[in-house]
Structure 1
Amino acid sequence: MHATVGDRVRIRGRVVGMREHVGEILEVRGARGEPPYRVRFDDGHEALIFPGPDCVIEQRGPVD
């Protein structure tokens, strides 16, 4: 998994009824875009994550 600052992280709920978590990558600490990532989630909390199979990285669009 590879990411850059500004990409979005989408972590799907693992059980029925668990909501999805979405956030923005603030920092990439691994070499060549690899985890761990420091993420600010939409509810405002920040965490250092090592994404698992329930996680999708959405690349940010081109910056004008």
Structure 2
Amino acid sequence: MIASQGDRIVVESVHLDSGRRSGEVLEVLGDGDTRHYRIRWQDGHKSVYFPGPDARLADGG
């Protein structure tokens, strides 16, 4: 996944008892294979996120 500032991402849960998470990319950190992101999640908290295979860009932006 390659995202830009302002994109929305969705992270699918790998556990049955956990829900899908979504958030907005606030900042792109690193580049190339070390690209990671500062995300504001739907509950309002912010974190640095290294996307895995369960992450995708949300439809429509």
- TM-score band (shorter)? 0.7 to 0.9
TM-score, normalised on structure 2? 0.83
Task: Map Cα deviations across residues 36-55 of structure 1 (whole Å, 9 max, x no partner).
Answer: 10000010000000000111
Partner Cα distance (1:10, 1:26) in 2: 14
Structure-1 residue corresponding to 2:18: 18
Identity of aligned residues (%): 37
Question: Aligned residues, how many?
Answer: 59
| RMSD of aligned alpha carbons | 1.7
- Bigger radius of gyration: 1
For the 8 Å contact 1:23–1:40, the answer to whether it is kept is yes
- Unaligned residue ranges in structure 1 (runs of 5+): none
Regions of 4+ moved over 6 Å: none
Partner Cα distance (2:51, 2:35) in 1: 7
TM-score, normalised on structure 1? 0.80
